[in-house]
Amino acid sequence: MSTERVYQRDAYLQTLDTAVVDVTPEGLVLERTVFFPRGGGVMGDEGTLRGPAGALFRVLETFEADERILHRVDRDGLRVGDAVQCALDWARRYTLMRYHTATHVLTGVMFKEHGVRVTGNQLTPDKGRVDFAFTTFDRETLEAGFARSNALIAQDLRVRIDFMPAAEALARPELFKLETGFSRDLSELRLVDIVDFDVQADGGCHVASLREIGRMELTRTENKGKANRRVYFVLHDA
């Protein structure tokens, strides 16, 4: 039985009552979860599980293995069948949601307006890193991309979650620029739609409207080979 990914329907849900369905050396499997597992360059969630008699377990890491979501906790003690309450480290998760959605905006702008493709990304609560395949790197183009991204954020576009039959989605390659945390062999694919801007197939957690991102600041770039430019940014409260 696969874990119900409650975070995919409601990224703002911070706590959830559920039960332990498996205990492995790597971590616990839950019936349902609000913890996003590491994937697509986005860090997994941290937080706590409150078990029987109020015992508190820290979730140190959430990740996927063999299509299962594993919650690595700080100590033994939970058993199959135990009722637990998940609680996210919300400040951390919300920051990751802001970075993740910011990355969609920036990569959407760079591709649509400048024809520059993204080849990878790494998002932490401290900074975002995106690799772009420039034919010739041009700092002005990148700065224009950041300025345009901040203008879109200021417009406060809405971010919607939709689901689409997989066969239909797979026929639209423009939906797969980022490939964040979803598996292609599902009957239904999840879409993250920045309304009036860009739609991507995506399994991750996003803010509900762009203004929540704040302001993006380009901090530095690194040359990672002829065509590859690694770009770092941070977010500020608007």
Give whole-number Cα distances, 7 to 31, 101, 204, in Å.
Answer: 13, 15, 8
Nearer to Zn ion, 10 or 143 (CB): 10
197 φ, ψ to 5°? Answer: -135, -65
Nearer to Zn ion, 49 or 178 (CB): 178
Tell me if 124 sits within 8 A of 38, measured CB to CB. Answer: no
SS3 state at 222? strand
Applying CB under 5 A, the residues found at the interface with Zn ion are 178, 180, 202, 204
Nearer to Zn ion, 44 or 204 (CB): 204
Q: Outline where DSSP puts E strands in the chain.
A: 4-5, 15-23, 28-30, 32-33, 47-50, 56-65, 68-73, 83-88, 117-123, 128-133, 159-165, 188-194, 198-201, 215-223, 228-236
Question: Which of 60, 47, 56, 53 shows the shortest CA–CA distance to 87?
Answer: 47
Nearer to Zn ion, 20 or 216 (CB): 216
For strands 32-33 and 4-5, give the pairing.
parallel
SS3 state at 211? helix
Minimum distance between the CB of residue 81 and Zn ion, rounded to whole angstroms? 35
Nearer to Zn ion, 45 or 82 (CB): 45
Minimum distance between the CB of residue 182 and Zn ion, rounded to whole angstroms? 9
Report the distance separating Cα 238 and Cα 153, nearest Å.
Answer: 10
Minimum distance between the CB of residue 200 and Zn ion, rounded to whole angstroms? 6
The two structure tokens encoding residue 161: 């979650």
In terms of DSSP H, where are the helices of the chain? 90-114, 139-155, 166-170
Minimum distance between the CB of residue 178 and Zn ion, rounded to whole angstroms? 5
Minimum distance between the CB of residue 188 and Zn ion, rounded to whole angstroms? 17
Position with the least CB separation from Zn ion: 180
Nearer to Zn ion, 40 or 145 (CB): 40
Nearer to Zn ion, 82 or 193 (CB): 193
SS3 state at 89? coil
Minimum distance between the CB of residue 214 and Zn ion, rounded to whole angstroms? 18
Minimum distance between the CB of residue 204 and Zn ion, rounded to whole angstroms? 5
